[in-house]
Amino acid sequence: MKEIVLASSSPRRREILEDMGLDFSVVTASVNEKIDIDDPEILVKKLAFRKARNVFSKIKSCRDFLVIGADTVIYYQGNIIGKPLHKRDAESIISALSGKSHTVMTGLAVITNGEEYIDCDQTLVRFRSLSLDEIRAYINTEEYTDKAGGYAIQGKGSILIEKIEGSYTNVVGMPTALLIKMLKRADMDIEKKLFKSHNNNAFG
């Protein structure tokens, strides 16, 4: 039976896997997340794989591990946007996105013994037209820190958003439909792992 390891310290990603009912452990990857590629899809796939490979090399043993790596960026008008450096940076990013649409891209990598799977999901997100006071009030909550694009759709940042097209969990940072597809490709018996907290005899 494969043991799942999440190569991320992100509490949002941990919560998503917990909500799915998966048993897993967390090992934080030690990698350079510098944005050094112009193509956002290639970038998030590369960083997700780099994180998963880094953790897999740390824990590799006789046990059967499956490591999940993920990376999320914002793509807007030909620019890749990562995590804000400070409040002024967050204000600049959110001001630019106000009243406009941007793409959230999350790369996923799944590594097991002898197998590697890499993919990417995309979601179109449109912000409301925001006043400067609204933007600064949101930034003052400090929720922008460590978030691609400077906002958290699952938190107070939800009030910034007018609509989305695509996966909500992708915007949070862990696209569940894509993850399940990739786990199945890795021959994981995912049906037995999902919703583990539910009573298997609920239907008699």
In a domain, 201, yes or no: no
Query: Residue type at 30?
Result: S
Residues 98 and 108: their CA atoms lie apart, in Å, by: 28
- Which domain does 119 fall in, by range? 3-193
Sign (positive or negative) of CA dihedral 147, 148, 150, 152 = negative
Averaged pLDDT, 165-176: 96
In a domain, 20, yes or no: yes
111: CB partners within 8 A, 6+ apart = 49, 52, 53, 56, 66, 67, 69, 117
In a domain, 202, yes or no: no
Q: Using one digit for the tens of pLDDT, what is the confidence trace for 58-113?
A: 887 657 889 999 999 999 999 999 899 999 999 999 999 999 999 999 999 999 98
Q: What are phi and psi of 173, to 5 degrees?
A: 125, 5
In a domain, 203, yes or no: no
Residues 50 and 67: their CA atoms lie apart, in Å, by: 11
Our count of domains for the chain comes to 1
Residues 121 and 174: their CA atoms lie apart, in Å, by: 9
In a domain, 19, yes or no: yes
In a domain, 200, yes or no: no
Q: Using one digit for the tens of pLDDT, what is the confidence trace for 29-55?
A: 988 777 778 899 999 999 999 999 999
pTM of the model: 0.88
How many other β-carbons are positioned within 10 Å of the β-carbon of residue 201?
A: 6
In a domain, 10, yes or no: yes
The answer to whether residue 202 scores a pLDDT higher than 70 is no
User: Active site residue: 23, 38, 39, 71, which one?
Assistant: 71
CATH number, residue 14: 3.90.950.10
Instruction: Check if 71 is active-site.
Output: yes
What is the structure's pLDDT at 195?
Answer: 66
Q: Using one digit for the tens of pLDDT, what is the confidence trace for 111-145?
A: 998 789 999 999 999 999 999 999 999 999 999 99
What is the structure's pLDDT at 46?
Answer: 94
What is the structure's pLDDT at 169?
Answer: 97
In a domain, 94, yes or no: yes
- 186: pLDDT confidence band, cut at 50, 70 and 90? confident
